[in-house]
Amino acid sequence: MSDKTSSNAMWGGRFAAGPDAIMEAINASIGFDKRLAAQDIEGSRAHAAMLAATGIVSDSDAGAIREGLLTVLSEIEEGRFAFSTALEDIHMNVEARLKEIIGEPAGRLHTARSRNDQVATDFRLWVRDQCDAAVEGLTALMRALLVQAEAGADWVMPGFTHLQTAQPVTWGHHMMAYVEMFARDRSRFADARTRMNECPLGAAALAGTSFPIDREMTAHALGFDRPAANSLDAVSDRDFALEFLAAASICAMHLSRFAEELVIWSSAQFRFVTLSDRFSTGSSIMPQKKNPDAAELIRAKIGRIVGANIALLTVMKGLPLAYSKDMQEDKEQVFDAADTLMLALAAMTGMVGDMTANRAALEAAAASGFSTATDLADWLVREMGLPFREAHHVTGALVALAESKGCDLKDLSLDEMHAAHGGITNAVYDVLGVHNSVASRTSYGGTAPVQVHAQIARWKEALA
Ligand code: ARG
């Protein structure tokens, strides 16, 4: 088969000579599409059963094909299969081996089919599995976040905007923010799966077939909701893979943001969290170092995933209908992006499960940076009847005073407060404490522990 003077056994009828070695090298996809072996064989077995049911091939030939394909599958799974570059791709490798095993009936398998609908089917099956795996991985991560949220539902920490202290929030609230984000990621993968779940098989090369095939039967056998309605579209679009990559890109962006927070939080300057030894590494020169490498790598992995998304969009954007060989470039990008995403999800889940939030450090930081200045302004509005703009101004003057004295707002005396506004009473000190501050933010979705507990309860039920 690899003899360059002999033409390809699958399509070489009109060729006098075999391909140049360079042609073979650029053309072959077997080096990577061997990952589609299980899907290819599943698709072929469904196709063979349909060919028999519709009387297009005999029951005995279809039976031999279906049995033989199982033999091929076990050879591949057990690493006993000799993949051939000359046979280009997984489809022809499997069929050629089937012929060696069962002989002449193997030649009937490709009736009413093309590699174009075959690869579109195989790849959809593969990407569909990855959508399911992403949903599962995200669910595990959400569960790990819920455990963290519940443990520290009312622990106070600084909430940031511009990475400057803004207002105190609760640890549980911060964890639950990520639960919401990862839940949307999960639903994006589920949506993509629903849309992609139509079967291309039977579209043949591009135009359908003159054989009396039963497309409902193969679609059903392969777990698709229905056959794809237009044969040209069925073999020529890869939007399902792009949707997976888009969902993966957004999810990787969320993972990257959280990873960035973990890198910051685990630093000696913050000490908000301690990452476990299992998810940290040391330095070969600085004995004291414990580095958040897993978080850093998760932060970086988005580059590959978004890169895959851009690469495939670029491959697809100028292709006339229907199939073009350009589309063979879809697989490596999606394989790498999927592997990367699953690894990043697993690493994040492990890290979140193992990490310890440092309650005291969170609380100490929560009170710094005049984080309750808004509470003071709100109090002036509520209790003194000041317009908010004026309250903002009075509070600003008190912040400047505290800053110049190097103390917190709560450390200012009532006399000092009166310099800014004569009506301020002792009751103001109640709102300057971070616990009171978070407890007061009871609006729906707010940071008050009562709201956070409600969020947690809702998600616990949803994930049960
Ligand atoms: N290896 C090919 C791919 O991945 C399979 C389809 C080939 N079709 C063709 N008409 N040459 O796209």
Summarised one tens digit per residue, pLDDT across range 216-250 is 999 999 999 999 999 999 999 999 999 999 999 99
Average pLDDT over residues 166-173: 96
- What pLDDT was estimated at residue 456? 98
pTM for the model stands at 0.93
- In this predicted structure, which of 9-18, 61-70, 159-168, 432-441 has the lowest mean pLDDT? 9-18
Distance in angstroms (rounded) separating the CA atoms of residues 127 and 341: 13
- What contacts 297, CB < 8 A, 6 or more positions away? 344, 347
Average pLDDT over residues 103-120: 98
423 pLDDT higher than 60: yes
Using DSSP's 3-state secondary structure scheme, residue 368 falls into coil
- Token digits of residue 196: 């992609």
- What pLDDT was estimated at residue 196? 98
Average model confidence (pLDDT) across the chain: 95
Give the closest residue (by CA) to ligand 1 atom 7: 115
Average pLDDT over residues 401-421: 93
Show the ligand 1 pocket: residues with CB < 6 angstroms. Answer: 29, 33, 89, 115-116, 119, 323, 325, 327-328
Catalytic residues: 162, 283
> How much of the chain, in percent, has pLDDT values that exceed 90?
90
Distance in angstroms (rounded) separating the CA atoms of residues 131 and 192: 8
- What contacts 184, CB < 8 A, 6 or more positions away? none
- What pLDDT was estimated at residue 5? 52
Per-residue model confidence as pLDDT tens digits over 260-315: 999 999 999 999 999 998 988 887 877 787 899 999 999 999 999 999 999 999 99
- What pLDDT was estimated at residue 4? 42
- Ligand 1 nearest atom to the CA of residue 123, by list position: 4
Give the closest residue (by CA) to ligand 1 atom 11: 325
Dihedral angle, C-alpha 99, 104, 106, 108, nearest 10 °:
150
Task: Assess contact for 157 and 362: CB atoms under 8 A.
Answer: yes
Tell how far the Cα of 233 is from the centroid of ligand 1, in angstroms: 15
Give the closest residue (by CA) to ligand 1 atom 3: 328
Q: Can you point out the beta strands (E) in 197-307? A: 198-199, 226-227, 273-274
Task: Assess contact for 428 and 417: CB atoms under 8 A.
Answer: yes
- What pLDDT was estimated at residue 62? 98
Q: Where does the pLDDT of residue 2 fall: very low under 50, low under 70, confident under 90, or very high at 90 and above?
A: very low
Tell how far the Cα of 241 is from the centroid of ligand 1, in angstroms: 16
Please choose from 83, 94, 328 the residue to mutate so as to test ligand 1's pocket, defined by most ligand atoms within 8 A of CB.
328
22 pLDDT higher than 60: yes
What single-letter amino acid sits at 208?
G
Tell how far the Cα of 120 is from the centroid of ligand 1, in angstroms: 9
- What pLDDT was estimated at residue 282? 83
Tell how far the Cα of 89 is from the centroid of ligand 1, in angstroms: 8
